[in-house]
Amino acid sequence: MTINRKPKAGAAQANAFIEGAPDARKSQASQVPYEKGIAKGNKRQISLTIAPELLRKVDEVAKRTGQARAAVINMALYRALEGDIFAS
């Protein structure tokens, strides 16, 4: 007989949350290799120039929400591109 750990409560909910992240699912566009930037796992590293006041606001949001700066920028870009901000 083996001793198994009791599954953590909410593990299924945590997995569903993680799988629901914008960069978790494989879309048609992500199946085609994209060569710009430096490969970092399933993401690409880029260089970004940003106004100091905008960076200050990004850092404030990151601190308030407990997120990394890159996570805040990624989510803002995702919402802008998936929303109607740049609709043509």
Amino acid at 40: K
In this structure, is residue 28 part of a structural domain?
yes
As beta bridge partners, residue 38 has 45
DSSP string covering 19-46: HTSTTTS--HHHHS---SSEEETTEEE-
For residue 4, tell me if it sits in a domain: no
Mean pLDDT computed over every residue of the chain? 82
Domain that holds residue 60: 11-82
Q: How many domains are contained in the chain?
A: 1
Angle (CA) 30-33-34 rounded to 5° is: 90
Helix (H, G, I), strand (E, B) or coil at 39: strand
**The model's pTM:** 0.61
pLDDT digits (tens, 9 = 90+) for 8-31: 667 777 777 777 776 666 555 556
46-73 pLDDT, tens digit each:
999 999 999 999 999 999 999 999 999 9
